[in-house]
Amino acid sequence: MKKILVLGGTNFFGKKAVQLLLDKGYEVTVATRGNNPIPFEDKVQHIVLDASDSLHAGWQAVQAQQWDAVFDNICYNAEDAHIRIEKLGQQLKHYYFTSSLATYMGDKDGYVEADFNPLTYEINPHKTVDYGEGKRQAEQVLFTQAPFQVTAFRFPIVLDNDDYTKRLHSYVDKALKHETIQFNNPDAKINFVKGSSAANAIVWAIENEQAGSFNISSHDAITRQTFIEWLEEMTGQTIKVDYTDETITGSPFNTRHHWYLNSDKIAEAGFQLDNLASWLKPLMKDLVDGMRAQ
pTM for this prediction: 0.95
Instruction: Read off the pLDDT band of 126 (50, 70, 90).
Output: very high
Domain CATH for 199 = 3.40.50.720
Across 187-199, average pLDDT = 97
Q: Does residue 71 sit in the same domain as residue 129?
A: yes
pLDDT value of position 48: 97
Residue 20 in any domain: the answer is yes
Q: Is the pLDDT of residue 294 over 90?
A: no
Q: Does residue 123 sit in the same domain as residue 39?
A: yes
Q: Does residue 167 sit in the same domain as residue 287?
A: yes
Q: Does residue 180 sit in the same domain as residue 242?
A: yes
Q: Does residue 240 sit in the same domain as residue 250?
A: yes
- Which residues make Cβ contacts (< 8 Å) with residue 172, sequence separation at least 6? 231, 235, 284, 287, 288, 291
What's the pLDDT tens digit per position in 215-254? 999 999 999 999 999 999 999 999 999 999 999 999 999 9
Q: Which domain holds residue 280?
A: 161-191+221-259+275-293
Number of domains in the chain: 2
Average pLDDT, the chain: 96
Least-confidence region, from 86-90, 109-113, 278-282: 86-90
SS (H, E, C) the chain: CCEEEEECCCCHHHHHHHHHHHHCCCEEEEEECCCCCCCCCCCCEEEECCCCCCCCCHHHHHHCCCEEEEEECCCCCHHHHHHHHHHHCCCEEEEEEEEEHHHCCCCCCCECHHHCCCCCCCCCCCCCCCHHHHHHHHHHHHHHHCCCEEEEEEECEEECCCCCCCHHHHHHHHHHCCCCEEECCCCCEECEEEHHHHHHHHHHHHHCCCCEEEECCCCCCEEHHHHHHHHHHHHCCCCCEEECCCCCCCCCCCCCCCECECCHHHHHCCCCCCCHHHHHHHHHHHHHHHHHHC
pLDDT value of position 1: 64
Q: Sign of the CA dihedral 267, 110, 80, 17?
A: negative
pLDDT value of position 42: 87
Instruction: Read off the pLDDT band of 41 (50, 70, 90).
Output: confident
With contact defined as beta carbons under 8 Å apart, do 200 and 139 qualify?
no
For residue 215, the one-letter residue type is: N
Domain CATH for 251 = 3.90.25.10
With contact defined as beta carbons under 8 Å apart, do 10 and 36 qualify?
yes
Q: Does residue 121 sit in the same domain as residue 181?
A: no
Residue 59 in any domain: the answer is yes
